[in-house]
Amino acid sequence: MGYKAKFRVWRGEGGDGKLEDFTVEVNEGEVVLDVIHRLQATQAPDLAVRWNCKAGKCGSCSMEINGKPRLGCMTRMSTFEESETITVTPMRTFPVIKDLVCDVSFNYQKAREIPSFTPPADVRPGEYRMQQIDVERSQEFRKCIECFMCNNVCHVIRDHEENKTNFAGPRFLMRIAELDMHPYDVADRKDAAQEEHGLGYCNITKCCTEVCPEHIKITDNALIPMKERVVDRKYDPLVWLGNKIFRR
Ligand code: SF4
Ligand code: F3S
Ligand code: FES
C-alpha cells in the first residue's frame, strides 16, 4: 500500500544551502533512492543526486539518512515509520558540489598516493603462487565498492579538516594492509602506513566498520593487524639494530 512520506532534503551549492521539506508518494518495496527520483520527477527537477547501479554495487549513492551514512539504493523505506520525517543530507566530510552530491576527489587523491602492487623483480606475472589462505584474506577487502562512507564517518577527518593531508582514511589504510599481507608484495608498507598515511591517527573507534555496506571488518581484519605489524617491527631488536646501523 502506498502512502505519503515526509522528506527533508538538503538543497544548495558549495557551502550554502538549507533543508527543504517535501511530501512525496511512496510505493511498496521502494528504497530511499526511488523516493528521491520521484521527487526529481514531480517536484524538484534540478535536485542533484549521484547514483548508477541501484543495486548496492557502484558505491555512488552514499548519503546521510537521518544522520547515518547509508546507500540510498539499499535503504528500504519499510525500515522507517510512515509518520517519520526522513532527513537526507550529503556526506558531511567532503565538500558539497550541489544538493546530495559531494566532491569525493579527496579519496582518489589518497588512492593515488599508495604505490600499487609491487612484486619481486625476478618473479613474472603467471609465476605467482599463493596459498589459498592468502587469497581468501584479501578477498574480503576486495569486496569494497568505494562508497567512501567509512572515510566519511571516521572522526579523524570528519571533525578535523586539518588532518586530511596526513590521513588516508580507513578505506586506504585497508588497501595498504591488503598489500602488506600479500605474499608477493615487496614494497615497504609499514613505515609508509605510519609515517605517510596516518595509521597512528586511528584510535580504533570502529565507526568505519559499522557503516560498511559490504560488512568488511575494516578495523579488526585490516587496521588492527596492520598496527600490530608496525609495532612488532618497531620493537623487534633486529629491526631496531638495523635502523641504528643503516639509517645514520
Ligand atoms: Fe565503502 Fe566499505 Fe569500501 Fe569503506 S570499505 S569504501 S565503507 S565498501
Ligand atoms: Fe577511524 Fe575506523 Fe580507525 S573510524 S579511528 S579508521 S577504526
Ligand atoms: Fe550504486 Fe547505490 S546506486 S550503490
Q: How far, in Å, CA of 37 to CA of 146, rounded?
A: 22
Ligand 1 geometric centre to CA of 175 (Å): 11
pLDDT tens string 152-190 = 999 999 999 999 999 999 999 999 999 999 999 999 999
Q: Is the CB of 104 under 6 A from ligand 2?
A: no
Q: Are 238 and 246 in contact (CB under 8 A)?
A: no
Q: Give me Rg for the CA atoms of the chain.
A: 21
Q: To test ligand 2's pocket by mutation, which of 176, 202, 226 has the most ligand atoms within 8 angstroms of CB?
A: 202
Which ligand is nearest the CA of 59, by number? 3
Q: Is the CB of 157 under 6 A from ligand 2?
A: no
Closest CA to 198 of 243, 164, 175, 150: 164
CATH 1.10.1060.10 maps onto the chain at: 105-247
Q: How far, in Å, CA of 192 to CA of 176, rounded?
A: 9
pLDDT of 237 reads 64
> Is CATH 3.40.50.150 the right assignment for the domain spanning 3-102?
no
pLDDT of 235 reads 62
Q: Per the structure block, which three cell numbers stand in for 163? A: 588532518
The b/e string for 2-37 (b: 16+ C-beta within 10 A; e otherwise) is eeebebebbbeeeeeeeebebebebeeebbbbbbbb
pLDDT tens string 2-17 = 999 999 999 999 879 9
Q: To test ligand 2's pocket by mutation, which of 155, 156, 164 has the most ligand atoms within 8 angstroms of CB?
A: 156
pLDDT tens string 37-63 = 999 999 999 999 999 999 999 999 999
Q: How far, in Å, CA of 73 to CA of 55, rounded?
A: 7
* CATH number for the segment(s) 105-247: 1.10.1060.10
ipTM above 0.90 for this complex? yes
Q: Is the CB of 218 under 6 A from ligand 1?
A: yes
| pTM for the model | 0.91
